[in-house]
Amino acid sequence: MTNVINNKLAILKKIANQDDCFSINQQIELVKKISTNQLEAYELMEFLIERRIKTHTELSCIDGIIFKNLYDSKIVNLKDKINTYFKEGVVKLESSKNINYYPLYKSLISNNFKEANFLTQIYLQELAGLKKNNKRQWLYFTDIIKLPSKDLKTIDALWRIYSEGKFGFSIQRNIWLYNDQNWDKLWNLIGWKINDIAIRYPNEFIWDHTAPKGHLPLFNQLRGVQVIATLFKHPAWQNTRSQK
């Protein structure tokens, strides 16, 4: 039995830092198989501790996949260990504006993507300096320029890591870049348009994992593409890996 576990874990370690769709699907299936009993779940926990705490390996989708699997576990002692080592999850909730991103983490880890989308818009407005009583609830491209890179990276990492690499601004950006920065292709690929017709908020958007890759979080493009183009060109994404 131990050899079987070690073999699965060895395969998982080999593909742990690969974030392409095929590898992520492999990771999901392997994690599900490994965590079928208490012994295997603890093996996964040790692997996660090794990556996140001991070696500080670059954050990857595998960390979110393992954490989410263990977070949902019914094993009581394992829950206690998770709370000890990862009280706020595996993504560091860093902010240059002292903003608390814990509510966003809780929404995403609970698969409440609609609430997470709402919180994301609130955070972006706060980062841009818009007061809560401000009637303007959208951002100009000049607001985007002012957004701190640290906070954008935190918000994006939360979305990306806790959606199995499916959602996030950087995911949308990569799709846009891979399709020669063609906006019409992007809207259709991420499901904001169907057959070139814009879908309606909120009922026609998909608020779960069945949504197309890059579907969330939402961004208001009704006033043109200048704002989201500025977001995609933000310095926060420099030196980030492109994914197909």
Per-residue pLDDT of the chain (244 residues; tens, 9 = 90+): 455 556 888 889 888 888 888 789 999 999 988 887 788 899 999 999 999 999 999 999 999 999 999 999 888 788 889 989 999 999 999 999 999 999 999 999 999 999 999 999 999 999 999 877 677 778 999 999 999 999 999 999 999 999 999 999 999 999 999 999 999 999 999 999 999 999 999 999 999 999 999 999 998 766 689 999 999 999 999 876 554 4
Confidence (pLDDT) at 38: 86
Please report, for the chain, the start and end positions of each structural domain, with discontinuous segments joined by +: 2-85, 102-237
Two tokens at 88? 């706020």
Torsion of CA 61, 64, 67, 68, to 10 degrees: -120
At 1 the pLDDT is 47
pLDDT at 18: 85
Indicate the CATH number for domain 102-237.
1.10.10.1770
The structure's pTM equals: 0.94
Query: Which residues sit opposite 198 in a β-bridge?
Result: 193
Contact of 156 with 169, CB cutoff 8 Å: yes
- What is the model's pLDDT at position 221? 67
Q: How far apart are CA 181 and CA 188, in angstroms?
A: 13
Contacts of 201 (CB under 8 A, 6+ apart): 218
Collect contacts of 45-53 with beta carbons under 8 A, ≥24 apart: 45/70, 45/78, 45/81, 45/82, 47/9, 47/12, 47/13, 48/86, 48/90, 49/85, 51/16, 52/85, 52/86, 52/90, 53/85
At 6 the pLDDT is: 65
